[in-house]
């Protein structure tokens, strides 16, 4: 069965929580990851964290391809910047439909993570993939992209979003 999960929207305080590491790599985890991918594809997203669908586990799914055929499932991801270069990109978020803001993040990262089977893996990422992984890993710490903006920009973007929610 294909399931579309409900996405929690800002300013729900649920999104400020810290997620717990995954320790059992079982059927339930596979179903969660699959439901998250379906939810992301149906919402036309490129990344989604478990916390956004109400699950406090360190699970993220990503697919930045146009053809929607390179799903990435990262469990317990840990990021290490590979250099001191930064990249600015206009980001969106499925928990903030309709707003896009420019955020500065590391350009190149290494990521240690577990596969869906629990295998320890690592990868390097640059460009959009790197940005997307950093955005999703932030969610696992209760951090949203607006938290990465300067005070003034953040205020403006938050007001704009809350106004849109009320219309
Ligand atoms: C995070 O965000 C991201 O406002 C993933 O109306 C975004 O998938 C990382 C979306 C950009 C890097 C660059 C947003 C869909 C999807 C919306 C998303 C909307 C419909 C956002
Ligand atoms: Co997001």
Average pLDDT over residues 125-152: 98
The pLDDT value recorded for residue 68 is: 74
DSSP state letters, 71-116: -EEEEEEEEEESSS-EEEEEE--TTSTT--EEEEEESEEEEEEE-T
Decide: 61 in ligand 1 pocket, CB within 6 A: no
Ligand 2 centroid vs 74 CA: distance in angstroms?
15
Q: How many CB atoms lie within 10 A of CB 19?
A: 20
How far apart are alpha carbons 156 and 135 in whole angstroms?
Answer: 20
Q: Is 34 a catalytic residue?
A: no
pLDDT in tens, 94-119: 999 999 999 999 999 999 999 999 99
Q: Which of 28, 136, 141, 158 is catalytic?
A: 136
The pLDDT value recorded for residue 66 is: 86
Q: Are 128 and 72 in contact (CB under 8 A)?
A: no
The ligand placed nearest to the CA atom of residue 89 is 1
**pLDDT averaged over every residue in the chain:** 97
Decide: 62 in ligand 1 pocket, CB within 6 A: no
Element (H, E) at 157: helix 151-166
Ligand 1 centroid vs 118 CA: distance in angstroms?
28
Average pLDDT over residues 146-165: 97
pLDDT in tens, 26-67: 999 999 999 999 999 999 999 999 999 999 999 999 999 988
The pLDDT value recorded for residue 46 is: 97
Protein residue with least CA distance to atom 8, ligand 1? 45
Q: How many CB atoms lie within 10 A of CB 143?
A: 15
Bond before 11 cis per omega within 30 degrees: yes
Average pLDDT over residues 120-127: 98
pLDDT in tens, 128-141: 999 999 999 999 99
Decide: 52 in ligand 1 pocket, CB within 6 A: no
Of 129, 130, 38, 52, which is closest to residue 97 (Cα–Cα)?
52
């Amino acid at each position: 069965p294909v399931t579309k999960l409900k996405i929690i929207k800002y300013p729900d305080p649920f999104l400020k929580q810290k997620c717990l590491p995954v320790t059992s790599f079982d059927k339930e985890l596979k179903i969660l990851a699959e439901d998250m991918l379906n939810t992301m594809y149906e919402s036309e997203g490129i990344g989604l964290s478990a916390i956004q669908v109400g699950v406090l586990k360190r699970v993220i799914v990503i697919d930045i391809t146009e053809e929607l055929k390179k799903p990435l499932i990262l469990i317990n991801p840990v990021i290490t910047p590979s250099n001191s270069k930064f990249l600015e990109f206009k980001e969106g978020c499925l928990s903030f439909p309709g707003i896009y803001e420019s955020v500065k993040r590391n350009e190149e990262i290494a990521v240690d993570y577990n596969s869906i089977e629990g295998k320890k893996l690592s990868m390097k990422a640059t460009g959009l993939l790197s940005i997307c992984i950093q955005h999703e890993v932030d969610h696992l710490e209760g951090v949203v992209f607006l938290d990465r903006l300067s005070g003034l920009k953040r205020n403006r973007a938050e007001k704009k979003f809350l106004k849109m929610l009320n219309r």
